[in-house]
């Protein structure tokens, strides 16, 4: 993916809204616009209902006179002193404008408040945009999982495991 950086959004125009299973339909629709295969509404609902589920919807006002519109989401899971990013996505119109970074910062803050010490995630080894985002947020590679994902055409795809220390 070679999206060029767009006009950075002023963070005051980006709000992060905590969401739960009541937003599963909206989230499944957004997920389907960004991922293939997409998660079903039922699996989204299941994931958002899990104890420890922490998810945010980013809403953006693209200019002082604009109405807020959904721009992206992050879904995380907190367990004991560890947290994991299960999925993150930003709609194409808002990519390269800082929304992904704000979503990660929001989740990292929530995880830290819940006393998590590290934030983990897995990313497909060929997802350069996501890898660049995670690196820019301070994540470092801690391992590789061979054939962790299966592509639509059945091809196995390796995953990189990344971690971010949540400093006290
Ligand atoms: C990955 C994704 C969430 C990034 O969100 P985003 O809002 O565009 O990210 P940001 O604007 O906060 O980017 C922050 C930094 O990450 C890096 N980055 C993000 N997208 C990039 C891209 N396409 N190419 C190169 N670097 C990129 C840049 O360093 C960027 O800073 P810069 O714009 O000042 O150069 C978004 O591209 C997306 O939703 N992709 C499809 C779904 C997906 O792959 N999700 C991740 C699954 S693990």
pTM reported for the whole predicted model: 0.95
Return the best residue to mutate from 129, 131, 137 for the ligand 1 pocket (most ligand atoms within 8 A of CB). Answer: 129
Active site (catalytic) residues: 122, 134
* Alpha-carbon dihedral angle through residues 109, 114, 115, 116, given to the nearest 10 degrees: -70
Reported as a pLDDT band with limits 50, 70 and 90, residue 2 is very low
By three-state DSSP, how is residue 103 classified?
helix
- The secondary structure of 41-83 as a DSSP string is HHHHHHHHHSTTEEEEEEEE-SSTTSPPEEEEEEEEEEETTEE
- The ranges assigned to domains in the chain are 11-120
> Is the predicted pLDDT of residue 4 greater than 70, yes or no?
no
Q: For the chain, how many helices (H) and strands (E)?
A: 4, 7
Are the C-beta atoms of 54 and 110 separated by less than 8 Å?
yes
For residue 164, report the distance from its CA to the centre of ligand 1, in Å: 17
H helix intervals, the chain? 24-34, 41-49, 99-113, 128-136
For residue 97, report the distance from its CA to the centre of ligand 1, in Å: 8
Instruction: Write down the CATH superfamily of domain 11-120.
Output: Gcn5-related N-acetyltransferase (GNAT) (3.40.630.30)
Residue 69 has which token pair? Answer: 């519109």
CA distance 98 to 116: 24
Residue 165 has which token pair? Answer: 């220390």
Return the best residue to mutate from 3, 96, 103 for the ligand 1 pocket (most ligand atoms within 8 A of CB). Answer: 96
Which DSSP category does 96 fall into? T
For residue 157, report the distance from its CA to the centre of ligand 1, in Å: 20
Average pLDDT of the segment spanning 3-8:
74
Residues with CB under 6 A from ligand 1: 1, 3, 5, 34, 88-90, 95-101, 123, 127-130, 132-133, 136
pLDDT digits (tens, 9 = 90+) for 91-134: 999 999 999 999 999 999 999 999 999 999 999 999 999 999 99
């Amino acid at each position: 993916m070679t999206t060029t950086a767009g006009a950075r959004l002023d963070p005051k125009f980006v709000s992060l809204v905590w969401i739960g299973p009541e937003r599963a339909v909206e989230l499944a629709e957004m997920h389907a616009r960004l991922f293939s295969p997409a998660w079903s509404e039922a699996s989204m609902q299941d994931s958002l209902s899990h104890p420890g589920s922490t998810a945010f919807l980013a809403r953006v006002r693209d200019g002082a006179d604009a109405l807020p519109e959904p721009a992206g989401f992050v879904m995380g899971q907190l367990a004991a002193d560890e947290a994991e990013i299960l999925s993150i996505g930003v709609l194409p119109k808002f990519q390269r404008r800082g929304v992904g970074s704000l979503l990660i910062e929001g989740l990292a803050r929530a995880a830290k408040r819940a006393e998590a010490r590290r934030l983990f995630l897995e990313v497909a080894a060929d997802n350069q945009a996501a890898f660049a985002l995670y690196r820019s947020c301070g994540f470092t590679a801690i391992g590789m999982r061979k054939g962790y994902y299966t592509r639509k055409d059945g091809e196995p795809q390796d995953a990189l495991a990344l971690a971010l220390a949540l400093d006290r």
